[in-house]
Amino acid sequence: MSIFEQDLEQQEANYQPLSPVSFLQRAATVRPQQLAVVHGERRYNYAQFWQRSRQLASALNRRGIGRGDCVAIMACNTPEMLEAHNAVPLIGAVLNSLNTRLDAATLAFILEHGDARLLISDREFSPIVKEALALLGRPLPVIDIDDVLAEGGELIGDMDYEAFLRSGADTQPTAGITDEWQAISLLYTSGTTGNPKGCVYHHRGAYLNALGNMSAMGVTHASRYLWTLPMFHCDGWTFTWGVTAAMGTHVCLRKVDPALIFQSIEAEDVTHMCGAPIVLNMLANSPAELHRRASRDVELATGGAAPPSSVIEAMEGIGFKVTHLYGLTETYGPATICLPQDDWQELKIEQRSARMARQGVHYVTVENAAIMQADSMERVPSDGNTIGELMIRGNTVMKGYLKNPTATAEAFKGGWFHTGDLGVMHDDGYIEIKDRAKDIIISGGENISTLEIEEVLFRHPAILEAAVVAMPHETWGESPCAFVTLHKPGGADEKEIIAYCRDHMAHFKVPKRIVFGPLPKTSTGKIQKYTLREQAADNH
Ligand code: ADP
């Protein structure tokens, strides 16, 4: 045994389980008066935020909920959601945030699969929650969030949230965290095929990713973070805990609505926010008279789908500074960042936004990210051209899929998490995603990246949104078919768009068909490419 291992044991003084719950406890001590949470007229400082979270923890305890029990929550981005993110893990229970756009059958499946013991639910969702509870077929206690800003909905629960809080003691609850590997939350992937999979997060990963976000986005106690990203999505990419770690201010928002977003930006002098590219596109294309600015440009993190560089540019023109992140539910949200190099500043905006549209390098809190051939697990050359699968390893990869050892083993094969995304490695070490494995088009043996074609289509002045999918082709096996939404109906025709594509890409990549109309979206706002693929196959 080395001298450095002798008599130097891990013990309480030098080894504590990492848990993001410790951030709130610290903030309440260090900056008790600092504004922690803003929601309409409601304002809580860190002392109050901690007190309310403690009371919720105690109330849950008194209801018999403790270590290893699952508490589900169906809520908008409101203070209750933030409190649940601290209270539930504090007693060692597991928080299951539900995607509020899911249908009743999927909600019932999740409540059953995750073995929820209690549901905290915003009144606005009572119609769908009632339906889900009927399908669940077993009693489940419900606590109502009766938010004054909710749009309707009845109270269906056993108790109101505020009364529930009052039923808890304002004392330090029994610490439920003894091991950083303990489960902290359960989040379901959208399940585009079959039932969704439940990703289980641990305290250690949530702690690290929260700090990773803080450092990636430069969040400080002077930051005012606007909640445009749903907190149910990867626990708000762990910003739920990250903003608290920084002791910044959480500015709540129930709805992603351009007018409301711009009003909040101005009124609360917002410094940071996150959103999927679809949200950016919505803001960039909203009427100019709605646009408001904060005292300086808002740091905006985007990810969840590839942001077209034209969208990044448009946002930079209206008061945002965009950072591009990539990740999955399995990686607590962000795992890579397109870290701008100093000399990119000198590039022309189009060149800079093309660099920024790459997914980048691994987070400081991620061990590694690489592009590999999935069968051999060998890295592809850094030539910006050879396609492989993006693999990630580190401490911010989920524990695994709940009650699904086969899928877990499959995902972690060879010591890396297989993302299912195909991409290339550039010579500067930056990763660029070309497609999801199931979306890439194989035409005459050549790979065609649908993202690359979409990138061009988004630059066409008449096009608001675009999605490209594979369509069966007699000669080539598959060929690209584009679905587009125009700013104005009749703003461009098929011939014109195809001609535009021929001017901007290799001819074999040019879509053979252009279909006009609205694009179907998933519950997380992603375009449902599988539906479009079916449509393309039916109509070709
Ligand atoms: P779901 O799998 O349910 O759609 P996720 O949020 O886990 O929900 O989606 C992760 C997927 O989103 C990734 O595998 C990738 O395909 C896509 N994605 C996320 N961020 C980016 C990005 N910055 N660029 C391109 N694709 C992205």
User: How far is 540 from 537, CA to CA, in rounded Å?
Assistant: 6
Residue 494 CB neighbour total at 10 angstroms = 14
- In the 3-class helix/strand/coil scheme, how is 215-254 assigned residue by residue? HHHCCCCCCEEECCCCCCCHHHHCHHHHHHHHCCEEECEC
- Ligand 1 centroid from CA 305, angstroms: 5
Beta bridge partners of 226: 251, 273
Taking the CA of residue 420 as reference, the ligand 1 atom at the shortest distance is 14
Average pLDDT over residues 326-354: 93
Pairwise pLDDT comparison (193 vs 236), residue with the higher score: 236
User: How far is 77 from 519, CA to CA, in rounded Å?
Assistant: 26
User: How far is 392 from 368, CA to CA, in rounded Å?
Assistant: 6
Taking the CA of residue 336 as reference, the ligand 1 atom at the shortest distance is 23
Lowest mean pLDDT among 187-191, 202-206, 406-410: 187-191
Dig out the tokens for 240 from the structure.
């739920």
pLDDT tens-digit readout, 441-474: 998 888 899 998 999 999 999 999 999 999 999 8
- Ligand 1 centroid from CA 275, angstroms: 13
User: How far is 485 from 457, CA to CA, in rounded Å?
Assistant: 11
Tell me if 277 CB under 6 Å of ligand 1.
Answer: no
User: How far is 399 from 206, CA to CA, in rounded Å?
Assistant: 11
User: What pLDDT sits at residue 420?
Assistant: 95
Query: What is the residue with the minimal CA distance to atom 20 of ligand 1?
Result: 304
Average pLDDT over residues 291-308: 94
Dig out the tokens for 372 from the structure.
């590999």
- Ligand 1 centroid from CA 144, angstroms: 32
- Ligand 1 centroid from CA 149, angstroms: 31
CB of 198 closer than 8 Å to CB of 403? yes
pLDDT tens-digit readout, 206-257: 999 999 999 999 999 999 999 999 999 999 999 999 999 999 999 999 999 9
User: What pLDDT sits at residue 525?
Assistant: 74
Average pLDDT over residues 489-513: 92
- Ligand 1 centroid from CA 419, angstroms: 9
User: What pLDDT sits at residue 176?
Assistant: 86
| Cα R_g (the chain), whole angstroms | 24
Average pLDDT over residues 384-390: 96
Tell me if 436 CB under 6 Å of ligand 1.
Answer: yes
pLDDT tens-digit readout, 349-362: 888 888 988 999 99
User: What pLDDT sits at residue 521?
Assistant: 86
Dig out the tokens for 58 from the structure.
């105690």
CB of 457 closer than 8 Å to CB of 463? yes
Reply yes or no on whether the pLDDT at 194 is more than 80. Answer: no
User: What pLDDT sits at residue 519?
Assistant: 92
Reply yes or no on whether the pLDDT at 429 is more than 60. Answer: yes
Q: How confident is the model at residue 82 (pLDDT cuts 50, 70, 90)?
A: very high
Beta bridge partners of 145: 122
User: How far is 451 from 240, CA to CA, in rounded Å?
Assistant: 30
Reply yes or no on whether the pLDDT at 524 is more than 90. Answer: no
User: What pLDDT sits at residue 191?
Assistant: 61
- Ligand 1 centroid from CA 321, angstroms: 21
Average pLDDT over residues 17-30: 97
% of residues, the chain, pLDDT over 90: 86
CA 505 to chain centre: 31
Lowest mean pLDDT among 178-192, 479-493, 516-530: 516-530
In the chain, the amino acid numbered 86 is: N
DSSP H helices, 333-414, are 349-356, 405-411
DSSP secondary-structure letter at 188?
A: E
Average pLDDT over residues 339-355: 90
Tell me if 328 CB under 6 Å of ligand 1.
Answer: yes
Query: What is the residue with the minimal CA distance to atom 27 of ligand 1?
Result: 305
Average pLDDT over residues 170-189: 90
User: What pLDDT sits at residue 195?
Assistant: 77
Taking the CA of residue 526 as reference, the ligand 1 atom at the shortest distance is 4
**316-212-79 Cα angle (round to 5):** 80
Confidence (pTM): 0.94
